[in-house]
Copies of this chain bind each other. A is one copy, B any other.
Amino acid sequence: MNRVISIESIKVACKNCSLGSLCLPMGLTPPDVEKLEKIIKRNRPLHRNDHLFRETDAFSSLYVVKTGTIKTYLPREDGGEQVLGFHLPGEVIGLDAIQDERHACSAKVLETSAVCELPFGQLEELAQVIPSLQHQLFRLLSKEIAEEGKMLTLLGKKNAEERLASFLMSLSCRFKRRGFSPTDFYLSMSRNEIGNYLGLAVETVSRLFTRFQEEAMVRVDRKHIELLDQDRLESVARGSLCSRGNESNSM
C-alpha cells in the first residue's frame, strides 16, 4: 500500500467530516469510529446525471452523501419514473438493497456530489463486534421506515398546496440541521422532479410556487428559494390553515 495517504485519509476521516454526528458514527466511541473509517472507501466526485447505481445492480455498499444531492427513483411500467427521494449530505442510500443483494432503486446525481462508500459486508462484520454500531444501523433503517408513514399521509390525504409546503419545510429542516440557512437555499431538482415526487403535475407545482410568492410566504427566483413566513408555511403543510373542517375517513 502507498504510504503517502495522509491527505487522502484526512479527507475521509469521520472525525474531520463536517457532517459530524449527523452521520453513522453518531454514538460511537473514537476508537470505534477509527475502525469504521478503515472500511470506508472514497470515490472521485460524482457529476450531474451520473448514476451512483441502478435498479437491479448488484448490491455491495451503502453510500452516505457527503456533499451534493442525490435522487433515488424507481422505473415505472409505462417508462416513466417515480422519484422516491432527494438525499442531502448525511443521508444514507442503498438501505433498500440489503434484502436481496440487488439495488431496489436507481440513484442519480442532481448536482456535483461526493459520497462515502461503506462496503456492507465489512460493515456487518464490524457491527458484529461493535454493539453500538449494530444498534446505530438498526436505528438508521428504522428511521427510514418511520419516515415512510409521513410520506404515505402526504400522498394519501394532503392536497397540492399542503404537499408543496410540506416539501419546502422538510428541506428547510434538513438544511438547518446541516448548518445551512433554513430560509434561503437552492433547489437542486427540477419542477418536474418535485411534481413527480409529490404526486403532482409540473404545472401545479409551478402555479403553487407563484401563488406562495403572491401570498408572501416565499420568494422564488428560479431555483433559489427564500422562506419568508415559515410559520404560515408550516400551517399550510399541516393542513391547519383555511377552512378544511373535514375528518374524512376518520372511522
Show the binding face of A for B, using Cβ within 8 Å. Answer: 74, 76-82, 84, 95-99, 104-105, 124, 127-128, 131, 134-135, 137-146, 148-153, 155-157, 190, 192-193, 195-199, 201-202, 238-240, 244, 246-251
Residues of B within 8 A of A144 (CB): 145
Q: Which of A124, A128, A150 has the most CB of B within 10 A?
A: A128
Contact of A82 among B96, B153, B195, B238 (CB under 8 A): B153
A96–B247 Cα distance when bound, in Å, is 26
How far does the Cβ of A153 sit from chain B's closest Cβ, in whole Å? Answer: 4
Find out whether the CB atom of A152 lies under 8 angstroms from the CB atom of B155.
Answer: yes
Question: Nearest B residue to A145 by beta-carbon distance?
Answer: B96
Given contacts A97-B142, A98-B139, A247-B78, contact A84 B131 (CB under 8 A): no
How far does the Cβ of A238 sit from chain B's closest Cβ, in whole Å? Answer: 5
Find out whether the CB atom of A193 lies under 8 angstroms from the CB atom of B96.
Answer: no
Contact of A141 among B74, B80, B142, B152 (CB under 8 A): B142
Contact of A149 among B74, B149, B248 (CB under 8 A): B74
Residues of B within 8 A of A98 (CB): 138-139, 141-142
A81–B246 Cα distance when bound, in Å, is 12
Given contacts A142-B98, A201-B249, contact A76 B153 (CB under 8 A): yes
How far does the Cβ of A188 sit from chain B's closest Cβ, in whole Å? Answer: 14
Find out whether the CB atom of A249 lies under 8 angstroms from the CB atom of B196.
Answer: yes
Find out whether the CB atom of B131 lies under 8 angstroms from the CB atom of A131.
Answer: no
Question: Nearest B residue to A238 by beta-carbon distance?
Answer: B77
Find out whether the CB atom of B99 lies under 8 angstroms from the CB atom of A192.
Answer: no
How far does the Cβ of A64 sit from chain B's closest Cβ, in whole Å? Answer: 16
Find out whether the CB atom of B239 lies under 8 angstroms from the CB atom of A146.
Answer: no
How far does the Cβ of A135 sit from chain B's closest Cβ, in whole Å? Answer: 6
Residues of B within 8 A of A128 (CB): 128, 131, 134
How far does the Cβ of A21 sit from chain B's closest Cβ, in whole Å? Answer: 15
Residues of B within 8 A of A105 (CB): 149
Find out whether the CB atom of A134 lies under 8 angstroms from the CB atom of B141.
Answer: no
Residues of B within 8 A of A199 (CB): 155-157
